[in-house]
Structure 1
C-alpha cells in the first residue's frame, strides 16, 4: 500500500495505529469528565472535600456510515451536546448540589410521552441551549449583516463583516460568562483537564507535580472547535452566497434559513480540521492555524489549583481502566476501617 493510500485509509477510518490513545474531556460542576478509548469517567469533589467517581462504557455508533468523514463530525457534535447536558447534571448530583424539581408542565409532558420528568427537563435544556446558540451566534449576526447589506452591496464584504460580527458576539459571550464565580471554577477545572491530558500525551506519570507544569491551552479543545466553526462558516457562507445569489441574497428570511441549513456541513468540516490540527506536525503554518483557538482558550481556561488537578488525574486514570484511580491514602483509610 502506498504512503498516500495508507494516509487516506487512516483519515477515512479515523484510526492511527501508531498514535497515542485518544483521550478527551469536559469540565463539569466541581469536577472533570474524561473519555478514554473504551470508557468514560466523571470525577467530582463533594462538598465535604472527598472524591467520588463513576465510569461507564462509551456508546458506539450504530451505523458504519456515521464514522465517515464530515458525517462523524456532525454525529459527534450532536452527541457532545446531548451527553454534555447529562454529564453536567450528573456531576451536580454527585457533588451534592440540590437538584431542581421538575415543573408541573414538565411532569405533564413526562406522562404524555411515558418517560421520566428528568428526561423532559434534559430535553428542554438541550432545546433551549440550541435555540440560544442559533439565535445568538447565527440569527443575530445574519440580521446585523443584512443591515450592512443595505449600505454595502458587495456580497463578499458583507459576509466577511457578518463573520467578524459573529466572532465578536462569541468572544463577548465567553468574556461575560467567565466573570461569573461558578463559571470561573468550571474554567479552572477546564484548565486542569488540559494539563492532565498533556501529561498523559507526553508519557509522564499522572501526578499533580507532573501535570502542574503544562499549559492550560490544548489544540483539540472544544473552544478551538467553536472558533474553527466561526471561521469555516465565513468561508462556506461566502462561497454559498456567490453560488446561489439572486433571491436568497435579497431576502433576509431565506438568507437565515439557507445559512442555518449549512450548519451540519460546517460542523462536519470543522471537526475534520480540528482533528487534523491535533495530529499535524508542528510547523509555523500549523502554529498560525492553531493560534486563534488557543488564544480563545485564554478566556475559557484558568490556572487550576492542585486539588483540581487531583480530580482530573483520578478521572483520566478511571477512564483509562485503572481499577483504583483514587489517591492511595483513600484505599489505606478504607483498609484501616475494615480492620477496626
Structure 2
C-alpha cells in the first residue's frame, strides 16, 4: 500500500481524532467549514461536482472567540457573510448564472431582508401581543409569553411554508446530507456515501436549532427589559437581539458538549430539524462529502475502486 492510501485510510477510519466541523446547505450543494478553510461543492446541471475553497478565520487564535456571549455574535456574522457568498456562488455554478450584482444592489437586498425580518418576527408579534394583552387583560409577563409564542409560531409557519416549494425542498435535502456527513465524520466511521446514508439527518449544532433557541431565550430576556410604549418595546427588542444571540449560542455550545442531557435540553430545537431537513439521495451525500473533503483539504474515501488516491480523492 502506498503512502497516499495509508493517509486516506487514516483519515476515513476510526483511528483519527475528529475535530468539530460545520456547514450549511446552498443551491444544489453544500458549504463546509474545516479548521483552516471553507469548502464548497455544487452539482452542475450536467451532473459534475464543482469544488471551491477559501481560507477561514482561525477561531481559536481570535480574542473574540474566547469571550463568552461575544463569540456567538462573531460566529453569526461570519456565517452570514460566508453564507451569502456561498449562496451567490452556488447559484452561478448550479444555474449557470454568471451575472453579478452590484454593491448597491447587494446592499439594497440586505436592507430589505433586515426590514422584513424585523417587521415579521419582531414588530408584528409585539403589536399582536399588545392587542391581545389589552383584549384579555394580560399582565406584562403573560404578554411577553404570548409574544414569544407568536414569534415561534410565525417562524415555524414560515419554514413549513417555504418547504412546500420544490427548490427549497431540494435545499432541505442538501441540509440533510450535510448533517448526515458531519454525524458520520464525528462518529469516526469510514466515510463512504453508503455509510453516511445510515446516519441521522438531525444534528445538535444546527443553525436552525439555534434560531429556535433564540425564540425561546427572547421570551426571558424581553421579559426583564421593562415596560413602555409599543414603539419603545420594538426598539428594545432590536437592541437586545445581540444579548439573546449571545445567550442562545452559549446554551447550544454547552448542551452539545454534554451529549444525552444536551439532547434532552435541545429536544424542541432538534425536533424542529425535521422541518428544515429532508432525507437526501446518495448523490446529494456525495456532494456533501466533496465539500467536507475540500474543507479538510484531504480525501475521505476511495472513489477509484482500490487504486491510488489523488489530491481530492477523485
Query: Would you say 1:317 and 2:293 are equivalent positions?
Result: yes
1:97-112 to structure 2, matched below 5 A, reads 97-99=96-98, 102=101
- Which of 138, 157, 160 matches 2:142? 157
Query: Would you say 1:253 and 2:241 are equivalent positions?
Result: no
Between the aligned partners of 2:55 and 2:159, the Cα distance in structure 1 is: 32
TM-aligned CA deviation for residue 66 of structure 1: 5.5
5+ residue gaps, structure 1, are 1-18, 103-116, 335-340
TM normalised by structure 2 equals 0.86
5+ residue gaps, structure 2, are 1-16
Q: Structure 1 162/74 Cα, relative in aligned 2: closer, same or farther at 3 Å?
A: same
Corresponding residue of 1:301: 277
Aligned residues: 291
Which of 1 and 2 has higher RCO (CA within 8 Å, sep 6+)?
A: 2
Q: Structure 1 101/72 Cα, relative in aligned 2: closer, same or farther at 3 Å?
A: closer
Q: SS at 1:262's partner residue?
A: helix
TM-aligned CA deviation for residue 101 of structure 1: 6.1
- Which of 128, 131, 137 matches 1:147? 131
- Which of 32, 38, 41 matches 1:40? 38
Corresponding residue of 2:5: none
TM-aligned CA deviation for residue 289 of structure 1: 1.5
Q: Structure 1 324/219 Cα, relative in aligned 2: closer, same or farther at 3 Å?
A: closer
| Cα shift readout 1:141-186 (whole Å, capped 9, x = no counterpart) | 1111111221324111111011100000000000000001100000
Q: Contact 1:318 / 1:325 at 8 angstroms: preserved in 2?
A: no
1:1-340 to structure 2, matched below 5 A, reads 20-60=18-58, 64-65=63-64, 67-99=66-98, 102=101, 117=102, 119-151=103-135, 152-241=137-226, 245=227, 248=228, 251-283=229-261, 286-322=262-298, 327-328=303-304
CA-atom RMSD, angstroms? Answer: 2.3
TM-aligned CA deviation for residue 92 of structure 1: 1.2
Between the aligned partners of 1:66 and 1:23, the Cα distance in structure 2 is: 16
Q: Contact 1:318 / 1:324 at 8 angstroms: preserved in 2?
A: no
TM-aligned CA deviation for residue 238 of structure 1: 1.1
Q: Structure 1 96/327 Cα, relative in aligned 2: closer, same or farther at 3 Å?
A: farther
Q: Structure 1 65/287 Cα, relative in aligned 2: closer, same or farther at 3 Å?
A: closer
Between the aligned partners of 1:138 and 1:322, the Cα distance in structure 2 is: 44
Between the aligned partners of 2:252 and 2:140, the Cα distance in structure 1 is: 28
TM-aligned CA deviation for residue 88 of structure 1: 0.3
TM-aligned CA deviation for residue 256 of structure 1: 0.6
TM-aligned CA deviation for residue 314 of structure 1: 1.1
TM normalised by structure 1 equals 0.80
Q: SS at 2:266's partner residue?
A: helix
Between the aligned partners of 1:36 and 1:70, the Cα distance in structure 2 is: 23
TM-aligned CA deviation for residue 321 of structure 1: 1.6
